Amino acid sequence: MEQNATCTQADLARAAGLHRITVAKALRGHPAVSKATRARIRGLARDLGYRPNAAALAMRRGRFGCVAMILSDDAVRSGLPQELLGGVTDALEERGHHLTIARLPDEKLTDERFVPKILREWMSDGLLINYNCELPERLATLVERCRFPHVWINAKRDCDCAYPDDYRAGVDAARRLIALGHRRIAYLSFSYRGETSHYSELDRRDGYIEAMRGAGLRASLFDRQNPVAGSEDRPPWREAAEAILSSPQRPTAMVLYSACDAVSVSMAAERMGIEVPRNLSLIVFGPQVRKFADPRFADMTIPARSVGRAGVEMLLEKIETPGLVIEPRVIPFTYRAGDTLAPPKEEP
């Protein structure tokens, strides 16, 4: 079709043979219009060069059709995985909204004068807060005081949040190894910092402990609070992994917090002639590790995309219903089989 720079919703309605109100709803992603019709209207809009008048829409609705995501300028505190961002943008696009992102230093995020100002100047209808650990409590206080619709993503709060169920994933990961017959199962995280860690560090670890205790087995933890005997408090990955695998009661299986942990342990095992999974089974929280690992690790797949989508759905509910408080949405992991699990070679 010939593109028309001044294409209106009325033009789209005529081209589609539909009422203009139906077209308007389709462009907004309204559930009253079927998914197939929404897709057809958006295809026509692309072909005809339709562009919504953002200013007119904002005046008519009293809203901007925009959601703002705020992050710390410290990447450790505000990790933004591609899958999480994809879930957010996909969910917003389906509903006719767009996203603006800003990374801000803590001093601005906790400035009583600055927080209300950024909410006004960003011309947004609500906030997605992607601040995952070492949260300045003043930020939470200021956001609540502004009474602005907001949802925390990948953060564990009492309400208005969406996050992965890391605790249950820790339980599941350990139970899979136990079901294979393993009894000496260790948990390893080289990044664990105790109470200041991201909640997933604590929840995955505690889920593993629950599964081990439930099976009458002893939990074996290797992290910065439980360092390898004879090593520094934070040993280099290579030396720490080799020390664990050379111990007299070395584990026959390990639950690994991250891709870095998985790669360091598997490389140490290869150097020491320990075959995976014949002599050592490994399961990791992923799926990042699959992108650069051979063999493929068995993983508990982090539901980052689903968390992003859930956060958007919650926020749009709060925008529609001011003052609404929503229970946390805890998203389950899925298990993906790999090449790193097997029964123990021999009985411990």
Number of domains in the chain: 3
Are 175 and 151 in a shared domain?
A: no
Q: What pLDDT is recorded for position 257?
A: 93
Does residue 60 lie in a domain region?
no
Are 141 and 192 in a shared domain?
A: no
Q: CATH number for the domain including 78?
A: 3.40.50.2300
pLDDT tens readout for residues 282-331: 999 987 655 555 668 999 999 999 999 999 999 999 998 988 999 999 99
Cis previous bond, 277, omega within 30:
yes
Are 141 and 178 in a shared domain?
A: no
Are 201 and 116 in a shared domain?
A: no
Does residue 298 lie in a domain region?
yes
Cα 243 from chain centroid? 32
Among 41-45, 159-163, 286-290, top mean pLDDT goes to 159-163
Least confident of 75-89, 131-145, 226-240: 226-240
Does residue 345 lie in a domain region?
no
Are 173 and 295 in a shared domain?
A: yes
Does residue 132 lie in a domain region?
yes
Among 154-168, 239-253, 259-273, top mean pLDDT goes to 154-168
Contact 187, 217 (CB under 8 A): no
Of all helices (H) and strands (E), which one includes residue 176?
helix 166-179
Contact 303, 288 (CB under 8 A): no
Q: For tokens 């879930």, what's the residue?
A: 87
- Of 312, 347, 305, 342, nearest to 326 (Cα)? 312
CA–CA distance, 264 with 348 (Å, rounded to integer): 24
Task: Compute the half-sphere exposure of residue 320: CA atoms within 13 Å on the CB side of its CA.
Answer: 7
The domain containing residue 297 runs over which residues? 166-302
Does residue 336 lie in a domain region?
no
Q: Concatenate the DSSP letters of all residues of 53-82 into one string.
A: -HHHHHHHHTS-SEEEEEEESSTTTS---H
Are 298 and 308 in a shared domain?
A: no
Q: Concatenate the DSSP letters of all residues of 241-287 into one string.
A: HHHHHTSTT--SEEEESSHHHHHHHHHHHHHTT--TTTT-EEEEEES
pLDDT mean over 205-229: 85
Are 172 and 91 in a shared domain?
A: no
Contact 252, 279 (CB under 8 A): yes
Cα 98 from chain centroid? 19
Are 126 and 195 in a shared domain?
A: no
Does residue 98 lie in a domain region?
yes
Are 282 and 314 in a shared domain?
A: no
Are 279 and 186 in a shared domain?
A: yes
CA–CA distance, 30 with 32 (Å, rounded to integer): 5
Are 115 and 177 in a shared domain?
A: no
Does residue 26 lie in a domain region?
yes
What single-letter amino acid sits at 129? Answer: I
Does residue 344 lie in a domain region?
no
Are 157 and 170 in a shared domain?
A: no
pLDDT mean over 178-194: 88
Q: Is the pLDDT of residue 190 over 70?
A: yes
